[in-house]
Amino acid sequence: MAMVGRHGTLRTRVGHLDVPDGSPAGRELRSAAMLGRTALIAFVILGIASTAEAAPPIRCDDLSTEDLAVDGVLDDWQGKPLAKIGSASEGTIELRCSWDGTALALALRFDDDRIVRVRSGRAHEDKVDIKIGAGGRPSVATVKPGNAIAKAVITKPPRSAVADSLQPKGFQIEAKFPAAILAGFSPSTPSLALEIAFHDSDQATGGDDTDLVYSATIELGDRKDLLDDFLKTVKLRRSDVRLDTLAEVDPDRKGKERVVAGGIVIGVITDKFAFVSLPAAKPADVIAVELMPLGNRGHSIIAARVRQAGNGGTRELLMLWTVWSGQLEPLASIETRKQVGTNVLEATWKIEKGKKGPELWLEPKPAIGFTADTWNEEPARDVDSIVLPWDAKRSGIAYFMDGKALQIGRRNLPKKR
């Protein structure tokens, strides 16, 4: 087995672009793009079976996997194992790994004083199952190690490579899994799920079988670095983050994107990051950030509820964004609540099935204090004004994505008879 070269991490900053959004508070919506980095990897060893506790994340080597000869011989893997799990009586597993942004390589050493295999027929045999997931169905490789009795039996996903070698006190497995074969993997994927199960048979005819199971989270280091850069740029701590999820929000990219929100900022992280600053005076004025199934082709849009104060009262806005090529694109800002003293106007909203796709329906609630005669406020010019319960022409407004364009459409909901 040969590994060629140890590669450093490329760190390049593109800069920021400030774009005013004409919000009522005169604030700016800013977007920032950061170039991605060559990937590192972090490993979280969760332990054996269900009884062990999670350990702190650790990083794997950043060795290139391009010229890795997967032959089951681990002589070229340098340094101490990243994890050693098990006991002398049950057997142990030593783990090494490498991630270079395109593939995950694993080096596993199994200490086992007796490798059980049979030439033919059904019997208890030693076996290792390796599962790697990226949000979709996991990729699975199974290895029955070879010995003097029987040759190795290996099943593996297409385009992956897996090999074993017999050792004086056990056996070794070397594997390489390209990121492209992992279902659900995208440039935004922050981590991989790994499970290694060693089924250790005492004898072919039966007896005690010992299962040694690793459940691990592989945190992709380049994604972690990019998240840290995003938080540093927008001056947030990890404890400030209120939303951190993967979702399909960008029709211009395959797979899911990472949506992160905290303070008065919403960010989208792919192989770069972009963000908008909400027109809120303080984080407490950001009531919620969520995803709505309003986008085309099953994509979601990003929605934020923001509270603003001024002119002797308060209002709440429902602000909508879509994403294109990693950048947030504003769709609409809609008044959903206005209060002056004890007088309140408020609208409800829900997602309904429309003729051309999902629609966001906003409908007024009964007014508190306000009447058609006492309501003398001019419609807002900076946002879509709140729907009025005494409007003679409509009972509400329906919002929908306008075909493939990154625009929001509007139609009046007819008065109910």
Residues 215 and 333 in one domain: no
Calpha distance 254→185 (Å, rounded): 9
More confident residue, 40 or 328: 328
pLDDT at 16 over 50: no
> How far apart, in Å, are the Cα atoms of 240 and each of 171, 228, 262, 264, 362?
47, 13, 5, 10, 30
Give the residue from 187, 220, 253 where a domain finishes: 220
348 located within any domain: yes
pLDDT band at 64 (very low <50, low <70, confident <90, very high): confident
Question: pLDDT category, 35, cuts 50, 70, 90?
Answer: very low
Torsions phi, psi for 267 (to 5 deg): -125, 150
120 assigned to some structural domain: yes
Phi/psi class of residue 197: alpha, beta or left (left: φ > 0; alpha: ψ in -120 to 50)? Answer: beta
Q: Which two tokens stand for residue 36?
A: 């991605």
CA-CA distance, 270 to 11, in Å (whole number)? Answer: 16
My answer on whether 297 and 319 are in the same domain is yes
Q: Hey, is 240 helix, strand or coil?
A: helix
Residue 228 is assigned to a structural domain of this protein: no
Give the total residue count for the chain: 417
| 186 and 307 within one domain | no
Do 210 and 257 lie in one domain? The reply is no
DSSP code of residue 384: B
Is 3 a member of any domain?
no
**262 and 368 fall within a common domain:** yes
Specify whether 399 is located in the same domain as 276: yes
Based on the domain organization, do 52 and 111 belong to the same domain? yes
Between CA 261 and CA 19 the distance in angstroms is 19
| Structural domain boundaries, residue 311 | 15-36+234-413
Residues 239 and 172 in one domain: no
What is the CB-side half-sphere exposure of residue 216 using CA atoms within 13 A? 29
As given in the structure block, the two tokens for residue 379 are 């419609």
> Does residue 8 sit within a domain?
no
Percent of the chain residues topping a pLDDT of 90: 52
pTM passes above 0.85: no
* pLDDT value, residue 406: 72
CATH number of the domain where residue 90 is located:
2.60.40.1190
Tell me the pLDDT tens digit for each residue of 368-382.
999 999 998 888 888
Establish if 72 belongs to a structural domain: yes
Q: Is residue 263 part of a domain?
A: yes
Assigned token pair, 40: 């590192």
Banded model confidence at residue 4, pLDDT cuts 50, 70, 90 = very low
Does 130 share its domain with 260? no
Same domain (yes/no): 347, 367: yes
Residues 308 and 359 in one domain: yes
**340 & 391 share domain:** yes
Query: Is 225 a member of any domain?
Result: no
CB 60 within 8 Å of CB 44: no
Domain count along the chain: 2
Does 40 have pLDDT greater than 50? Answer: no
Whether the per-residue pLDDT at 31 is higher than 50: the answer is no
Q: How far apart are CA 265 and CA 277, in angstroms?
A: 5
Amino acid at 365: K
Q: How far apart are the first and last CA of the chain?
A: 78
Q: End of a domain among 192, 220, 248?
A: 220
Partner residues linked to 273 by β-bridges: 269
| CA atoms of 277 and 262, how far apart (whole Å) | 10
Flag whether pLDDT at 302 surpasses 50. Answer: yes
In this predicted structure, what is the pLDDT of residue 26?
35
Query: Which residue, 112, 128, 110, 118, is CA-closest to 149?
Result: 118
Which of 179, 198, 220 is where one domain is finished?
220
194: closest CA among 257, 134, 125, 136?
Answer: 134
